[in-house]
Amino acid sequence: MAHFNDDLDPAFRGAGANPGLEIWCVENLRLVPVPKSSHGRFFSGNAYLVLYTSLLRSGSPQHEIHYWVGRDAKEVDSILASDKALELDVALGSHAVQYREVQGEETQKFLSYFKPCIIPIEGVFSSELADVDTNTYRVSLLTCKGDRVVHVKEVPFTRTSLNHNDVFILDTASKIFLFSGYNSSTQERAKALEVVQYIKENKHSGKCGIATIEDGKFVADPDVGEFWSLFGGYAPIPKDLPSNSLEQPERPATKLFWITTQGKLCQPASGLLVKEMLSSNKCYMLDCEFELFVWMGRRTSMTERRTSISAAEDFVRSQDRSINTKLTFLTEGSETASFKSYFGDWPEKVEPKLYEEGRGKVAAIFKQHGYDVKELPDDDEEGHPFVDMSGATKVWRVDSDNLNIIPIVEPMKFYSGDCYIIQYTYPSCGREENLFYAWLGQKSAMEYRVQAISYMNDLVNSIKGDPTMAQIVEGTEPLQLFMILKTLIIFKGGKSTRYKMFIAEKDIADETYDDSKTALFQVQGTSAYNMQAIQVDEVSSSLNSSYCYILKTESSTYTWIGNFSSVRDHNLLDRMLILMNPTWQAVLVREGSEPDSFWNALGGKAEHSREKKIKEFTEDPHLFVLTSLGGDFKAKEIFNFSQDDLTTEDVLILDCHSEVYVWVGRQSSVNSKHEALNLGLKFLEKDTVRRLHSETPVYVVTEGCEPPFFTCFFEWDPSKANMLGNSFERKLAILKGKTQKLEVTLRSSWKAYSTETVPDDLKSQPNGVNGFRKSSSPISSVSSSNLKSMDYRRFSSPPPVTTNFSAGSPVYANSNGSVDKVSNLTPQSVDSLQLNVSETDVNLVVHPYDRLSVLSNNPVTDIDITRREVYLSNEEFQEKFGMSKQAFYQLPKWRQNKIKKSLQLF
């Protein structure tokens, strides 16, 4: 909201208080508010001021200011609009970015506010008649250019205005004609249909006919004849002249000028641009040829800022720059990503000290006014995933030419030198959905990672539907993956043959964890159902005051509690210690009171990070469409995006900063998820504006099969996701009121296993331990040759029996993870085996509840602490749980754990 004072224009009272658009027009050298009913109507004889306010995901407001200059606007009105834009920025705290907009050459950001378009009106705005349309209806011919936002321009109503490259709208009293040049793209035609819809609703009150005319196709269609009759009859459109700008000239070097208080441009020393060149008490102009930035230091005066803006506008005129040269004005601290990309050393994040200092100042202000301010915790509550967490998980370790399935146990154990593939199958809208991750260890070899991605791609292609897949590098895991895996320990080293070969070839010491070595683990997580222990270097500098750690030596175990860790962290530390090894008797150590033996185990005392962990700034998502011009990879941002921007002919990138989604349209030129994944990785590599980390997680999402953790970034209409036809045909069907036909996607229903996808030789087998039951811990190894030739559904939607291809006999994993061969199974024996292997064992010693509880004063030893409940007698189990063991183990794992936790058995 603008800070009102005596010098502020009364028109700005309350400006920026609410999200949305606010528009003022310069009329008689004063600002006049434009009513919402007239938003999007710009008169070519005027200058306008536009304020767009949005709320970021972090909760803070963001303001962007544009001043629009009509083709016939007076210079004095243009200058006033520019001055008022600066005045409004100051009133809003000097955090807004200001843009100059010229009629016909508006920025895509500006046009994105006015969906589907703006159609400039000849004449001059009058506030007295702002709500009254005084124009009499007349026939008009418009050109529509753009496949994302549309530049609409009225052209002379003559045949010579038509060409083969553009899309035209002929608006008559009874019918609207859309003429598509044969060189225009499908996306441009689809966008033009949105303009047709706009004209139909706003100029015809929704009552008029619509006709589409294709350039070069002349059939016995009355609409075609009617269209050409309006031009006096058909005549061929001449061929377009060849473009003179096939090759753009090499872009000159970017120049940075210091603007003096008199408005003169002084070029500083040449060389690499760095942030230190910008002084807070000066103004600068960054000349990027087709775009100019004016940067105004925070300690500059209003007069200096006005002078610098005028100097930049004069520079554009004096240099005979193109009319489409963009001018952007920003104040120190409000720099755009595009501006910062021209500087090699621009800090990506706010320093924690500055953050803490800012919080302290805010708290101090409240305390001065008598409020008792308590510091809010930085830690969020447990994150809520966007997928059903009652699904089933399968995990494979990539090992040379094999995929080895590993048991699903708590805790899961990964190794930094290995790569893993995770398949999560979950119910969604009555269907079975699949999500694949390739987890790549930080110490895994590059060729090993490539092989893992290839295997994942094969698994994805082997099942029905279009699963979502993702590449995750260790250390960048999204919360959702951690919640799927529940409890995870990441060790150094590796278990795969490939890792052993790699360290032997490189003559590297084997770091693989074993109990005889000293090891340090950082414990983290948000709840007991999402916690991790990550092995770090066993040196003092690995410690961080915001975390808790487990230090295991040959003779002792320590738990170290950082000064900034929370009570929740302490609870997770205790749980993780028990899960890692219930026999460890740990010595509790608090930061600042460590014994010498603790430091000696870490090679001596040294400095470690003592700054409090702060919540990272929540970035807003950005949507980009990928284009390839002459093999040149480009990403073009789509502002104020919506679901309608996901056009079926395109591949788009949804950049959420902490993760990136590659959305693949059904009719795009990308033919495989592997190819789409490479595009996402290339986006990370080529990015110079957003400066994303090269190991940011990359997801691949297919049109019509978008998971909820992707659709949550849109106002999602499922009926639009599976329509037939290209983007033009879809919008034409909607415009003409036809019933939307939906594509039938290949999706299997939500079952543990569908007999429709089971190979014939296995259809007689019941659903056994290798089905999608989370309690199972199957082990299998499949060679690369078999992976390429066999039915991949044996991996992704596995049959009840996993075949050992070398021996030809079914194998099952027993309770300790080893493999037993089983032959001549009957349905009854399989069911019995499932129960015994997964949850109960008739040979287990029965113990009373009082000794099995985690709060017991006399706890039982030598038991599996992750399955305390199995040691209860059937009678006591029924009494405590209110159900039988068989009924309990049919519940989802998350619900089992929740009940066990409430009974102090977890």
pLDDT in tens, 718-740: 888 778 889 999 999 888 876 44
Burial 314-347 (b: 16+ CB within 10 A, else e): ebbeeeeeeeebbbbbbbbebbeebbbeebeeee
Structure-block tokens of residue 184: 């225009």
* Residue 881 predicted with pLDDT over 90: no
- Residue 905 CA from chain centroid, whole number: 38
Alpha-helical runs (H) found in 410-526:
446-461, 479-485, 497-506
Q: What is residue 350's predicted lDDT score, i.e. its pLDDT?
A: 46
Alpha-helical runs (H) found in 701-856:
708-711, 718-721, 727-735, 784-789, 793-796, 827-838, 849-852
Of the candidate ranges 278-292, 690-704, 888-902, the one whose mean pLDDT is the lowest: 888-902
Amino acid (1-letter code) at residue 306: R
Q: What is residue 267's predicted lDDT score, i.e. its pLDDT?
A: 82
Report pLDDT digits (tens) over 749-803: 222 323 233 333 323 333 332 333 333 322 233 333 333 333 332 233 333 323 2
The verdict on whether omega for the bond into residue 116 sits within 30 degrees of 0, i.e. cis, is yes
Phi, psi of 780 (to 5 degrees): -150, 160
220 pLDDT band, cuts 50/70/90, is low
CA–CA gap between residue 445 and residue 498 (Å, rounded): 9
What lies within 8 Å, CB to CB, of 669 at 6+ separation is 651
For residue 464, give Cα distances in angstroms to 140, 214, 459, 754, 791.
Answer: 51, 38, 11, 11, 12
Q: What is residue 343's predicted lDDT score, i.e. its pLDDT?
A: 87
Q: What is residue 897's predicted lDDT score, i.e. its pLDDT?
A: 74
Q: What is residue 486's predicted lDDT score, i.e. its pLDDT?
A: 93
CA–CA gap between residue 251 and residue 806 (Å, rounded): 62
Amino acid (1-letter code) at residue 743: E
Q: What is residue 799's predicted lDDT score, i.e. its pLDDT?
A: 31
Q: What is residue 757's predicted lDDT score, i.e. its pLDDT?
A: 31
The β-bridge partners of 398 are 403
Q: What is residue 596's predicted lDDT score, i.e. its pLDDT?
A: 95
Cα angle 177, 183, 187 (rounded to 5 degrees) comes to 70
What average pLDDT does the chain have? 81
Phi/psi region, residue 206 (left: phi>0; alpha: psi -120 to 50; beta: rest), is left
* Beta strand segments in 528-599, E: 530-536, 548-552, 557-561, 586-590
363 pLDDT band, cuts 50/70/90, is very low
Answer for the pair 837, 820: CB distance below 8 angstroms, yes or no. Answer: no
Answer for the pair 821, 801: CB distance below 8 angstroms, yes or no. Answer: no
Answer for the pair 695, 473: CB distance below 8 angstroms, yes or no. Answer: yes
- Residue 463 CA from chain centroid, whole number: 25
Phi, psi of 266 (to 5 degrees): -120, 120
| DSSP-based helix, strand, coil % in the chain, nearest 5 | 30, 25, 50
Tell the residue number behind the tokens 């915790």, with chain if given.
377
Report pLDDT digits (tens) over 175-189: 999 999 989 999 999
The dihedral through the CA atoms of 538, 542, 545, 550 has a sign that is negative
Structure-block tokens of residue 655: 């950049």
What lies within 8 Å, CB to CB, of 168 at 6+ separation is 141, 142, 143, 144, 155, 161, 162, 178, 179, 181
Q: What is residue 136's predicted lDDT score, i.e. its pLDDT?
A: 61
688 pLDDT band, cuts 50/70/90, is low
Q: What is residue 587's predicted lDDT score, i.e. its pLDDT?
A: 95
Structure-block tokens of residue 889: 């183990």
CA–CA gap between residue 696 and residue 661 (Å, rounded): 10
* Residue 676 predicted with pLDDT over 70: yes
Q: Which helix (H) or strand (E) holds 100?
A: strand 97-102
Q: What is residue 747's predicted lDDT score, i.e. its pLDDT?
A: 35
588 pLDDT band, cuts 50/70/90, is very high
Three-state DSSP at 532 gives strand
